[in-house]
Amino acid sequence: MPTSKHYWLSLLFISLLFTSRGGPLTDEWKITGKVVDKKGTPLSGATVNVKGRKNSVITRADGTYDLSVPPSRGILVFSHVGFITQEKAFNGPGVYDITLREDQKALDEVVVVGYGTEKKRDVTGAIVSIKSAAINERQPVNAFDAMQGLTPGVQITSGSGAPGESSTIRIRGTATIDGGVNPLYIVDGAPMEDIDGINPADIASIEILKDAASAAIYGSRSANGVVLITTKRGVEGKPRFDLRYYTSMKQLAHKLPQANARERRMHLATGVSDRDSLNPAFSNDNDYQDLLTRIARRNQADLAVSGASKGLNYYASLGYLEDQGIIINSYSKLVRSRVNIDYKPNDKLAFGNRMQFSYQTGNFIDEGNVLLQGMLRPATLQVFLPDGSFAGMVQARQNPVAWAELNVNRNDDYKLDIYDYLSYQLAAGLKFTTDVTINIEYLKNFKFTPRSLSNVGDNTGADRRDFNTYLQWQGYLNYNRTFAKDHTVTGVLGISADKDSRSYIQISGSNFLTEAIGTFNAAQLLNQNSTLTSASRNTLASAFGRLGYSYKGKYIINTNMRLDGSSRFGKDNRWAFFPSVSGAWHISDEPFMRWTKGNLDDAKIRVSYGLTGNERIGDYDAIQRYSFGSYYYNSISGVVPNAVFGNNKLSWETTADLDLGIDLSFLNGRVRFVADWYDKTTTDLLYNAPLPGESGYSSVRVNVGSIGNRGFEFGIDASLVRKKSFSWDVNYNMSFNNNRVRKLYNGTALTPTSGTTTWLVGEGAPLGQFYGWKALGVYQYNESNAYTKDWEQLTPVFNAQGVFDHYTYKGQIYTDVVQKLTSSGTVLQGGDVIWQNNHKDNVIDDADRTVIGNAQPLYTAGLTNFISYKDFGLSFTFYTSWGGQLFDYARYYINSYKAQTLTPQPDVIYTRWKKPGDISGYPRYGNLAYNQREISSIYIEDATYIRLRNVRLSYKLPAALASRARIQGISAYIYGANLLTWTNYRWYDPEIDPGAPLTMGKDSGRYPRYKEVGLGLNINF
Amino acid sequence: MTRKILRIVAPFIFIAACQKHLDQQPLSDLSTDLFWKSPDDARLGIAGMYDGLQKTLSSNYIDWCEPRSDDFKAGGNGEAQVNLSLNALDANQAEASWDNLYVTISKANFAIKYIPRISGLAGQLRDHFLAQAYAMRGYCYFYAVRVWGGVPLWLTPYEDLTKNVALPRTPAEEVLNTVVADLKKADSLVDTTVTSPVFEINAGGILAMLTEVYMWKKEYQNALDASGRLLAFNRYSLAAAADWKKLFIDPAGTKENIWSLNWVYTQDGANGMAIRYGCSDLTSYYYIEPDLVTRFRSNPGDIRRRLTYDTALETSAVGKIGKFYPLGTNGKPAYPSSKLSDVNYPLYRLADILLLRAEAYNKLGGAANTTAAVDLLNQIRTRAGIMPVTEDMFPTQDDLELAILNERQLELFGEGKRWFDLIRTDRAIPTMDTVLKARQQERGFAETGFGDPGRILFPISRTALNENKNLVQNPPYSD
């Protein structure tokens, strides 16, 4: 038997399949009846058919139907949208009436949990489930797009607008500072490193296990949450073909202000000299954003075939996605194929596999050398030579268009994931399953920079091939029995072993004798430092279990546990135990809640507590090592102690998580509310604690310190209108997370850096604190740099001739000692930035740094609407991230006057300090490091945004019309993404990949996100 | 019965199998217990140690020294370069970090500890390796003392996390004593018959270091003794004028080079010198101080002038220093690109030692010594093709010292000596005060001159202060 869910689905599909009426035959039984709802109201449009047969009828306006069937006993199936499908046996002609119950779908939904499934009603942890219907409402490129904005507590950001770009997902904040930050992905029971290769059209459901109690069964890898993906299976009946096609156009969401030739010359007029304005190399007026971006196309086609018959269930799909980037010469092409087969020769034995293959190829654009370079290159400089070829470097500035077109950074990524299982029903309620997972990835990266782009007149290339394999074996028992009607016991017990091996070969060289050949027999010089092969491996062994008890479905208690051993840790600290316990109470089932009946369908209170772990660190961090390969001296390859001290005491990072939740369902499931409060504390933080450099080491991986995440999240689903021809459903969710570092190794605050951007990670403060100098303005006059003994700023007063006369302080004439601030050995003057003097001495230096912003948002929220009217459907999602800042590095860099060939943005050209008396937010012109500090608060920007993330308007051809064309269903839609954004952020997009926990929120001018509008067609037959 | 036993034993078999499954050794690195075993390991470990010095000196050979002196001025507007040339150092600047220096010291400490334990390593060969490790450690601490004054003293490798890692600074005097002790130890172990390669520390190199250390300590007789022993090897002599360029581009091809640091860009990557001194693709960080150019020009016949820089640039700023690159067919330096330059940094050569001896003789005083000093000075001048000097030109000891130092400045320009020479002879503040005032004026800064004498030293880097709470900042830098 297929599971109840699939059974239900199959019935629905069968009923939809055969809406045409068969011709009457004489030797038939005539069956009639009436379909009504609970209140006795007749239901029109309900489908009635005989199980296993083709013909079906639709009930009339008064709810009645009549049906002729061959004269043999059978089962009638009654179905209607919004109601639970019911069956009724018949053994002869006659009247068969039925009352259909409204579908409180959500409560009867099946939710996938670790190593099994549970009814949504019985779930005790914080689990969210997204079904394929919701996924189809978007036009997702990958599984992340499918989840984004739909679930509380889950923050998903795509890294950038680059084609083929993956996304990051953070579940309930960041619970680690240096360990792995991604959740564990389990696809059809098999762990996966990433889920980019999964075609979202193949996904039947996504479950996100947010609290420790749900995730603990995955033990050491579950501290960042677990994402379970279940792919589609066939449904009983004739093979079903699904064909989807989507095409769209994408465009830069908005252009940034950039200085044109006139503004560039204006900039030159104040302090910068330029050469030869008659020279064609300097007399252009380029709009680099126009030159570098384009209207890009995306084409996506998917074909899926599925079906099931007599113990064989299959689903196969093939998808092709061609995605151009909005920056010229960037693209990604992706082929994804999947075969799911389940074979069930008898009631006890089942065997099946999931096989997925994907191939992706694409060219990546180096944003720094293309877009950022384009934004700062003077508009006057030449891009094309008169003959149409690319101009080379002009005034030491790269040609960004040439760079985009000629520089190669191509990936070819092949992935094969195979999962096979065998299960056997040992006894009633007891099932044994064993499975094997094999994931193989071959990734080829080729980089080539031709001679024409090089400032040293040489071409360089690198070729890297990664070969990664992952093997896992699992064996487990599932138990599920109900005793004496009221007592249900469920259990899981199993063991598993994993082996993850990675290796790569890399070759790098220069001076290719011809640029037509990219293999390294053409390279005349090999770079010994980066020509190497390397390998690493880690293993995991585990035992896991679950025990659940439910009394009448009213009181439910579950315990999950896992014992994990990892090769990554010190010999004596290899094993760790991750227990959890959770309980749920259907308070609405209690007699004292009877008064709520009719309004409140269900109220469930959940409490859970558990431990989860994080083991994602370097494979050999616990072993003191010697390295070699890049430590040559005089042609001898030196052997040196690894810069990271091997800590043989290394052990697990553990997250303890308390979760309190409530699930409410009102008005026959028309309003559903879920809220959770959680308190997660991660202890034994795994991070690279800096060691004093005098030890000869840079850092040591340690297991100390603690970080906390406390948060509240809720989601509301409401069916505002639920009429036959009009319905309107709304989903709103909102998440607050408060993150605090509680303890660090020796209490030493960390100042992690990315480039020269610095963060401050200290006890009692959240992650993501930008550490830099606070700008208070720009000195109006040289004399404005004047302070009292206590470093309060004085106001200079000038006489009628404009000559300085005296100072005032708080309106009073000041005659006491006047102090002046200096920086880099010079007294600050008019036009220099007024820096906050935190150290209270006369020097502005690194001791004056302070926290000037935080990258973490206050809250995030998503609002999704699904509206359907007759055959039309409209859905749209708003998403907001509120609070939080970003360091706008790109703007900082462009406006820092670092070189005279660099052009600031127009507002800097117009408003910067130019002469004594100017009041400005930007300092005087000049490459003065003390005016352009990194990070300066001038470039810390509010990253709040509200975005209309996607809109989809669809039309479904009425079934009657479609069936004439022998098509079961056909729908067309218009789709739009990122159409509107409200933000004060000044670079392209405030939604960026948050980055590593220690260095969050630096926008170094990423590949901009785009607006997209497309058309799609879905057909199934 | 057997089933019963199995039932008891099975979990243990499972756990044992797991343990084996979980035992994963590094696949591309060596775990500690597998190194320092064979004689070849000593050679590889020592090569790793030299690699540490390469990484240390790649840019600091220059930045720790001459940009602070009257040799260079900052060419562009790079923050670090401007700070260095204005004596406005900042604890946050990369040059203040001693990490690479200590990585090298740590490697020497490992070698000193583990080389004696390698079985099958013959006595003399083993001692020669050890001599290099001791000398390297001494050399590194000598740099540290000159740059920061007192520094934490690590004489054993750090191997146990439970041991204190935050050592306070040891006073400069004590560190210097350790330097002398290390060099003496090296001197006693070194195989004096080994003369090549010039890229490794040999007996001559150790004595050259000792000479310079004694000069720093103002122990002139000791300096003369050490350098005297070096001369007694009879294997070093000044290169002919025609071979002067070879000192930098072919150090093994002269008898003057004592120790040079090897650099091969295909193995070691880009070095820090090309971008600082001059390369084909980028503007250099540093220009020659105009006054120095004037002095070079005052002796048009000085071979060092056209071999140090392109004389065509003299009319404006000399923004490229071609000293370390071969001459092209047009007679101008063939600048390599910033990424593809092989510069063998000269660390010690005979001219340096001879001039140090001249200084020492001068300091010791007395007619004979003065004659010896002038004689040594003239050896260098004659080779350079300029007029010799006579004793009567130097009425005072100080005058002669100044002449020797000026000669050193021209001869050893760009070789990481000048700033330390100024400190060593207590001339840093008087010399630089005027130079700095001119530079400050040029950049529109207040003309504060040298400022606090504490600024002779570098600040301890901000990172080091954060990581080690027992460190105390050098005044007047903010802690």
Q: Which amino acid is present at A86?
A: Q
Which chain B residues touch A641 with a CB distance below 8 Å? 106-107, 110, 157
Share above pLDDT 90 across residues of chain A, in percent, rounded to a whole number: 45
Which chain A residues touch B97 with a CB distance below 8 Å? 693
Count the neighbouring beta carbons within 10 Å of the beta carbon of residue A860.
Answer: 24
Average pLDDT of the residues in A726-731: 91
Backbone angles phi, psi at B172, to 5 degrees: -55, -40
How far is Cα B347 from Cα B208, in angstroms, rounded to an integer? Answer: 10
Q: Which amino acid is present at B104?
A: T
| Most B CBs within 10 Å, among A493, A575, A633, to test the B interface | A633
Backbone angles phi, psi at A440, to 5 degrees: -130, 135
Backbone angles phi, psi at B370, to 5 degrees: -60, -45
Q: Specify the 3-state DSSP secondary structure of A309.
A: strand
How far is Cα B429 from Cα B440, in angstroms, rounded to an integer? Answer: 15
DSSP B198-219: TTS--HHHHHHHHHHHHHHTT-
Look at residue A9 in the predicted model and tell me its pLDDT: 45
How far is Cα A229 from Cα A952, in angstroms, rounded to an integer? Answer: 24
Q: Which of A623, A632, A846 is opposite residue B268, by nearest beta carbon?
A: A632
According to DSSP, residue B72 is labeled E
Q: Is the pLDDT of residue B464 over 80?
A: yes
How far is Cα A355 from Cα A352, in angstroms, rounded to an integer? Answer: 10
Q: Name residues whose C-beta falls within 8 Å of residue B332's C-beta, 6 or more positions apart in sequence.
A: B310, B312, B322
8 A C-beta contact, residue A576 and residue A223:
no
Q: How many alpha carbons fall within 13 Å on the CB side of residue A172? A: 35
Q: What is the distance in angstroms between the CA of the first residue and the CA of the last residue of chain B?
A: 75
**H helices then E strands: how many in chain B?**
19, 5
Which chain B residues touch A626 with a CB distance below 8 Å? 29-32, 34-35
Q: Which of B106, B152, B466 is opposite residue A641, by nearest beta carbon?
A: B106
8 A C-beta contact, residue B372 and residue B361:
yes
Rounded to 5°, angle at Cα A977 from A973 and A978: 155
Q: What 3 state SS string does A400-449 have? A: HHHHHHHCEEEEEEEEEEEEEEEEEEEECCEEEEEEEEEEEEEEEEEEEE
Look at residue A106 in the predicted model and tell me its pLDDT: 46
How far is Cα B349 from Cα B236, in angstroms, rounded to an integer? Answer: 9
Which chain B residues touch A633 with a CB distance below 8 Å? 47-48, 50-51, 54, 199, 262, 268
How far is Cα B100 from Cα B63, in angstroms, rounded to an integer? Answer: 14
8 A C-beta contact, residue A933 and residue A895:
no
Of B460, B16, B395, the residue nearest A565 (C-alpha)? B16
Average pLDDT of the residues in A133-143: 76
E strand or H helix at A735? strand A726-743
Chain A contact present for B18, CB below 8 A: yes
Look at residue B3 in the predicted model and tell me its pLDDT: 64
Residues in chain A: 1021
Backbone angle region of B255, left / alpha / beta, with phi > 0 → left and psi within -120 to 50 → alpha: alpha
Under an 8 A CB cutoff, do B267 and A635 touch?
Answer: yes
8 A C-beta contact, residue A890 and residue A372:
yes
Look at residue A1 in the predicted model and tell me its pLDDT: 38
Q: Is the pLDDT of residue A2 over 50?
A: no
Under an 8 A CB cutoff, do A456 and B23 touch?
Answer: no
How far is Cα B383 from Cα B387, in angstroms, rounded to an integer? Answer: 10
E strand or H helix at A318? strand A312-324
Of B171, B471, B181, the residue nearest A693 (C-alpha)? B471
Of A232, A199, A207, the residue nearest A340 (C-alpha)? A232
Q: Which of A567, A636, A697 is opposite residue B158, by nearest beta carbon?
A: A697
Under an 8 A CB cutoff, do A641 and B107 touch?
Answer: yes
Look at residue A4 in the predicted model and tell me its pLDDT: 47
Chain A contact present for B90, CB below 8 A: yes
Average pLDDT of the residues in A229-258: 89
- A4-53: pLDDT as tens digits: 445 444 444 444 434 333 444 457 788 888 888 776 777 776 788 887 77
Which chain B residues touch A539 with a CB distance below 8 Å? 21-22, 24
Look at residue A588 in the predicted model and tell me its pLDDT: 86
Report the chain B residue with the minimal C-alpha distance to residue A849: B92
Quickly tell me which residue has 């060092």 as its tokens.
Answer: B304
Look at residue A155 in the predicted model and tell me its pLDDT: 83
CA distances from B30 to A620, A639, A766 (A): 11, 9, 38
Look at residue A289 in the predicted model and tell me its pLDDT: 93
Question: Which of A169-178, A343-352, B251-260 bottoms out in mean pLDDT, i.e. has the lowest?
Answer: A169-178
Burial of A411 (0-12, 13-18, 19+ CB in 10 A): middle
How far is Cα A939 from Cα A147, in angstroms, rounded to an integer? Answer: 32
R_g of chain B computed on alpha carbons: 25
Look at residue A882 in the predicted model and tell me its pLDDT: 93
| Residue B228 CA, distance from chain mean position | 22
According to DSSP, residue B461 is labeled P
Give me A717's structure tokens. 């689903």
Give me A24's structure tokens. 């009457």
- A363-387: pLDDT as tens digits: 988 777 788 888 889 998 889 998 9
Average pLDDT of the residues in A478-497: 90
Average pLDDT of the residues in A856-861: 92
Under an 8 A CB cutoff, do B21 and A636 touch?
Answer: no
How far is Cα A540 from Cα A191, in angstroms, rounded to an integer? Answer: 12
Q: Which of A620, A633, A826 is opposite residue B29, by nearest beta carbon?
A: A620
Which chain A residues touch B86 with a CB distance below 8 Å? 824-826
Which chain B residues touch A646 with a CB distance below 8 Å? 32
Backbone angles phi, psi at A731, to 5 degrees: -125, 125
Which chain A residues touch B28 with a CB distance below 8 Å? 533-536
Q: Chain A: give the shortest CA distance to residue B329, in Å.
A: 20
Which chain A residues touch B76 with a CB distance below 8 Å? 927
Average pLDDT of the residues in B202-222: 97
Which chain A residues touch B343 with a CB distance below 8 Å? none
Q: Is the pLDDT of residue A105 over 80?
A: no
Give me A277's structure tokens. 């304005």
Q: Is the pLDDT of residue A159 over 70?
A: no
Q: Is the pLDDT of residue A286 over 60?
A: yes
Average pLDDT of the residues in B296-303: 91
Quickly tell me which residue has 């990258």 as its tokens.
Answer: A855
Question: Which of A698-707, B212-221, B440-449 bottoms out in mean pLDDT, i.e. has the lowest?
Answer: B440-449
Which residues of chain B from 249 to 288 reach within 8 Å of chain A, CB to CB?
262, 264, 266-269, 280-282
Under an 8 A CB cutoff, do B51 and A567 touch?
Answer: no
Q: Which among A97-106, B12-21, B347-356 has the top mean pLDDT?
A: B347-356
Q: Chain B: give the shortest CA distance to residue A619, in Å.
A: 8
Q: Which of B18, B262, B340 is opposite residue A633, by nearest beta carbon?
A: B262
CA distances from B146 to A775, B176, B179 (A): 37, 10, 12
Chain A contact present for B196, CB below 8 A: no
Which chain A residues touch B41 with a CB distance below 8 Å? 639
How far is Cα A213 from Cα A394, in angstroms, rounded to an integer? Answer: 61
Of B460, B458, B478, B457, the residue nearest B470 (C-alpha)? B460
Which chain B residues touch A826 with a CB distance below 8 Å? 86, 88, 440, 443-446
Report the chain B residue with the minimal C-alpha distance to residue A634: B262
Look at residue A549 in the predicted model and tell me its pLDDT: 93
Q: Which of A499, A696, A700 is opposite residue B157, by nearest beta carbon?
A: A696
How far is Cα A438 from Cα A865, in angstroms, rounded to an integer? Answer: 40
Report the chain A residue with the minimal C-alpha distance to residue B105: A696
Look at residue B371 in the predicted model and tell me its pLDDT: 95
Average pLDDT of the residues in B271-297: 90
How far is Cα A860 from Cα A944, in angstroms, rounded to an integer? Answer: 10
According to DSSP, residue A893 is labeled H
How far is Cα A903 from Cα A921, in angstroms, rounded to an integer? Answer: 17
Under an 8 A CB cutoff, do B165 and A624 touch?
Answer: no
| Most A CBs within 10 Å, among B118, B158, B441, B450, to test the A interface | B158
How far is Cα A952 from Cα A938, in angstroms, rounded to an integer? Answer: 39
Look at residue A847 in the predicted model and tell me its pLDDT: 84
- A211-226: pLDDT as tens digits: 888 888 888 888 888 8
Report the chain B residue with the minimal C-alpha distance to residue A627: B29
Under an 8 A CB cutoff, do A640 and B337 touch?
Answer: no
R_g of chain A computed on alpha carbons: 33
Q: Is the pLDDT of residue B1 over 70?
A: no
How far is Cα A820 from Cα B448, in angstroms, rounded to an integer? Answer: 14
Under an 8 A CB cutoff, do A457 and B466 touch?
Answer: no
Under an 8 A CB cutoff, do A825 and B22 touch?
Answer: no
Residue of higher predicted confidence among A774 and A91: A774
Q: Is the pLDDT of residue A333 over 90?
A: yes
| Residue A561 CA, distance from chain mean position | 28
Q: How confident is the model at residue B331 (pLDDT cuts 50, 70, 90)?
A: confident
According to DSSP, residue A869 is labeled E
Q: How confident is the model at residue A177 (pLDDT cuts 50, 70, 90)?
A: confident
Look at residue A899 in the predicted model and tell me its pLDDT: 77
- A262-281: pLDDT as tens digits: 898 888 775 555 555 678 88
Which chain B residues touch A691 with a CB distance below 8 Å? 158, 165, 467
Q: Specify the 3-state DSSP secondary structure of B59.
A: helix
Q: Which of A566, A624, A696 is opposite residue B105, by nearest beta carbon?
A: A696
CA distances from A130 to A149, A150, A230, A372, B163 (A): 11, 8, 10, 38, 53
Maximum alpha-carbon separation in chain B: 110
- A437-453: pLDDT as tens digits: 999 999 999 999 998 88
Give me A613's structure tokens. 């772990």
- B142-186: pLDDT as tens digits: 999 999 999 999 999 999 988 999 999 999 999 999 999 999 999
8 A C-beta contact, residue A129 and residue A962:
no
Give me A662's structure tokens. 């409530």
8 A C-beta contact, residue A329 and residue A405:
yes
Average pLDDT, chain B: 92
